[in-house]
Amino acid sequence: REKNSPEIETMLKVFCNEVSVQDCKAALEDTGRDVLMAIKYLKLKQLLSLDLGDINHCKEALVSCDWDVPQAVDYVFSQGPPSPECVDV
């Protein structure tokens, strides 16, 4: 097995192996190898995968809950669905 970079090892520990090495590599590439930003990116992807709202609603929940995904899920449910945005047609 190939040895992972320290950044990937850190991310795998944060996520308790809930994400793959490939997910970590992709997140690091997408964030310019900024580990903290990559972790937040993956947490946002986790919350978005639950279809609880759009990207802004999910990010707001994560920020409000100090980037704790389970707390953010509870936050979203306690806030109710996001209000529909007005659109011109």
Assess if residue 49 is contained within a domain: yes
Tokens describing residue 78: 């306690």
pTM for this one? 0.83
Assess if residue 1 is contained within a domain: no
Assess if residue 71 is contained within a domain: yes
Burial degree of 76 (CB within 10 A; 0-12, 13-18, 19+): buried
Assess if residue 39 is contained within a domain: yes
Domains in the chain, number: 1
Per-residue pLDDT of the chain (89 residues; tens, 9 = 90+): 568 899 999 999 999 979 999 999 999 999 999 999 999 999 999 999 999 889 999 999 999 999 999 999 999 989 866 566 655 55
> Could you list the residue range(s) of the whole structural domain that residue 43 is in?
6-79
Q: How far is CA 82 from the centre of its chain?
A: 18
Locus of tokens 């389970």:
70
